[in-house]
Structure 1
């Protein structure tokens, strides 16, 4: 069962999401909150796997609330708002998805299907995965074949998945999950993969860190992945 909290200052908006979730037998609404203060208390106590979070709320916005949550114990966040100009900022706050009001039934169903797949425990098998020597990419009308060893980092945002080398950034249709499985890239952030060989410096910061690559690019490191990244290079 996927546990869920709905956070919105408008009662009818909470009711709309609750009605949609009634059709999902494996999702349990454990709380509904009308403001960020109530929400923080409920999230801390109930530790839901999923929250639907309105962006525009009085005093403390949904984006500000997301920034207050522990990145090591972060639920899947689906932001809900009537204004699409918040999309990029929402994904920077580690959004799982972004829904516009009024919520489209098909769009909502697609979000739930992705959430269900993401939260389903993965069965590990001993089958070896063949590593990719190249990543198929594109830039405008050009098809690019990027050698995996040339990739410094990869990141995702609302516009897709981007592959960065020393000299350029291009796009790919491959997902971060697949690239993590089939290359030597490792997670340093929920939305970033990085090549260990590209790391020149790790700057420890409050709440995480920032990597400087050998070409001078800056890549965020969340607290969730900082320890294993330090251990990779022998830092205790």
Structure 2
């Protein structure tokens, strides 16, 4: 049985800290252990309380949230979900690396997805306590008739939901992996793949252009010409991920 995840919140805005705490209260596998209002205090609290996960505001008085995390040795550093009102800070989030980043005001669905990613990361750490980095999926074994085809993650252009399967698009080929899209998304490196819709994930490097639509959704086009719709829930994160390339 997986133990409760120890979580702390760092933000210079008291209302922002309260908002995260209120969302955490709905999850009985999480234990809120403390908070801090600036980067220097965050370092001291993290060293003392040793949280598993920290929700860290990026821009604060004194040292930034990213520098606060960097000051902790990688082997001791907690999993981090960055909070920011400015998507340009995603560049540093990808370099840290952070588990995820949430743009303010926080969307409830994105918050739940970030927690799911943290849970998956905790399971990986529990299975290999000596590994400071996460073992994201690098290849997929897919049964095609009597054969098993191995698909390299680097070859995947985008992924769509097919009921209980995930459809991996590799050039003109479609491979059906027996795994729901939501579950698969937790095993994908967020520096390479990003969700753009409830039913679609794209390889960030395959995105060629992005066009805003009137309802705050976006139309994106992959380098091979494939058009996909990015829903408003994911557009800000997508823009931030593209800015980090």
TM-score where L is the length of structure 2? 0.53
Deviation at 1:115, TM superposition (A): 1.3
| Residue matched to 1:143 | 171
Q: What secondary structure does 2:102 align onto?
A: strand
Distance 2:156 2:38 in 1: 43
Distance 1:133 1:114 in 2: 24
| Residue matched to 1:68 | 71
Q: What secondary structure does 1:52 align onto?
A: strand
4+ residue runs over 4 A deviation = 129-134, 138-142
Residues 1:6 and 2:23 are matched in the alignment: no
Q: What does 1:182-193 align with in structure 2 at a 5 Å threshold?
A: none
Deviation at 1:29, TM superposition (A): 1.1
- The alignment's C-alpha RMSD in Å is 3.2
Q: Is the 8 A contact 1:138 1:171 kept in 2?
A: no
Residues 1:108 and 2:111 are matched in the alignment: yes
Q: Flag the 1:108–1:134 CA change in 2: closer, same or farther, 3 A.
A: closer
Residues 1:20 and 2:48 are matched in the alignment: no
| Residue matched to 1:96 | 99
Runs of at least 5 residues in structure 2 that lack an aligned partner in the other structure: 129-139, 142-147, 159-168, 174-187, 195-203, 207-245
Q: Is the 8 A contact 1:87 1:158 kept in 2?
A: no
Q: Flag the 1:2–1:58 CA change in 2: closer, same or farther, 3 A.
A: same
| Residue matched to 1:160 | 193
| Residue matched to 1:77 | 80
Structure showing greater Rg: 1
Q: Is the 8 A contact 1:88 1:157 kept in 2?
A: no
Runs of at least 5 residues in structure 1 that lack an aligned partner in the other structure: 124-128, 146-154, 162-169, 173-236
TM-score where L is the length of structure 1? 0.55
Relative contact order: is structure 1 or structure 2 higher (C-alpha 8 Å, sep ≥ 6)? 2
Residues 1:50 and 2:53 are matched in the alignment: yes
Q: How many residues align?
A: 150
